[in-house]
Amino acid sequence: MTISTTPHLNFDGDARQALDFWAAALGTEVTAMTYGQMGASDDPAWADRIVWGQVETASGVRVMAFDVWPHQEYDQGTNSSYVYLSGDDAAEITAVWEGLVDGAEIRQPLGASAWSSLAGQLRDRFGVVWALDVRAPQPGA
My answer on whether 62 and 89 are in the same domain is no
133 near 86, Cβ under 8 Å?
A: yes
Average pLDDT of span 39-47: 86
Q: Is the pLDDT of residue 3 over 70?
A: no
Give the CATH number, domain containing residue 44: 3.30.720
Residue where a domain stops, chosen among 44, 67, 90: 67
Cα(93)–Cα(75) distance, integer angstroms = 30
| CA angle 116–96–59, rounded 5-degree value | 90
Whether 106 is in a domain gets the answer yes
Which percentage of the chain shows pLDDT scores above 90? 67
Report how far residue 92's alpha carbon sits from residue 53's, in angstroms, rounded to the nearest whole number: 24
The pLDDT of 60-75, averaged and rounded, is 88
pLDDT in tens, 81-129: 889 999 999 999 999 999 999 999 999 999 998 889 999 999 999 999 9
**Structural domain boundaries, residue 18:** 8-67
Do residue 13 and residue 57 come from a single domain? yes
Among 9-18, 118-127, 128-137, which is the least confidently predicted range?
A: 128-137
